Structure 1
């Protein structure tokens, strides 16, 4: 059984994951509007991932005898000044997600909830990967600056990304 504190904080995380999904969907629409279908596709995959993360938390609350609560989602930004700006905001956002997951892990330790600690290890590992992937794109964008051919090439590369529901692999599915 989840403590009331962890139930509340995980429910807040569910909301934040859905907000994250909406943010990435908005970024996808922004890139589509700019004629960058590969970048749009990459962000759409992010949208799908964040949605599955929210559902993983949602199912976990229910599995542990808590009440999952879906809350209203605040509006997300819809415009950015540059391709690099979008990915810099993405990096900042993923760092916030990491901090939130770490806070949940700290709370699970304080509450002596070993099951939640175990479940959160998956998210901790996922955030290391998320930040590394975004950092690689930010670094590339800083390197190529406004080189149209390089942006075009990166757009083609990002279009090859495939969605894999990683929440369905491993023992915490």
Structure 2
């Protein structure tokens, strides 16, 4: 059984992951409206991945004898800028999520909960990938220029997971 403090912060992360899912869905809708169906598909897949993270956290809480809570999810932005600005925002958001996960690892360590630390290390590794992917897309967009965005749109639209 985990401590109440740890259960609370993990439930907070469930809400954060659901907010992230909504953030990426908002970006997807914007891209679709702006004529970038590939970027829209990429962001929709990202939204689905974040929702899966919420499920994973909730399932872990339950598995450890806790109560998983679906809490209020704040509104996400709906107006965005250029594709590069949107992907830059996605990168910054992933950095923010990395900090949240690192904080959770620290709390699990202070609560002497080795099982939760082990669970969270998977997300630490995941965040390294998330940041790298988003930063890589931003870097490629900068190099591609305006005309290259259409080629990148097609490429990112091929994302299957």
1:98-109 alignment, distance < 5 Å: 98-109=98-109
d(CA) in 2 for partners of 1:97, 1:145: 28
Distance of 2:137 and 2:52 partners within structure 1: 23
Residue-by-residue CA offset, 1:62-105 (whole Å, 9 max, x unaligned): 00011111111100011112111101110110000000000000
| Equivalent in the alignment of 1:171 | none
Q: Are 1:156 and 2:154 counterparts?
A: yes
Deviation at 1:36, TM superposition (A): 0.6
Q: Hey, which bits of structure 1, 4+ residues long, moved more than 4 A?
A: none
* Shift, 1:142, TM fit: 1.5
Is 2:2 the partner of 1:2? Answer: yes
By how many angstroms is 1:144 displaced?
A: 2.2
Alignment gaps of 5+ in structure 2: none
Q: Does 2:66 match 1:66?
A: yes
The match for 1:130 is 130
- Structure 1 window deviating more from structure 2 (53-62 vs 137-146): it is 137-146
Number of residue-to-residue matches in the alignment: 161
Matched, 1:145 2:154: no
Q: CA-to-partner distance for each residue in 1:6-44, whole Å, 9 max, x for gaps?
A: 000000000000000000000000000011110000000
1:143 Cα deviation (Å)? Answer: 1.5
Q: Tell me how far apart the structure 1 counterparts of residues 152 and 2 of structure 2 sit (CA, whole Å).
A: 44
**Which protein has the bigger helix share?**
2
Q: What RMSD, in angstroms, separates the aligned Cα atoms of the two structures?
A: 0.7
- Measure the CA separation in 2 of the matches of 1:84 and 1:151: 9
Per the TM alignment, residue 145 of structure 1 is displaced from its structure 2 partner at its CA by 2.9
- 1:113 shift after superposition: 0.2
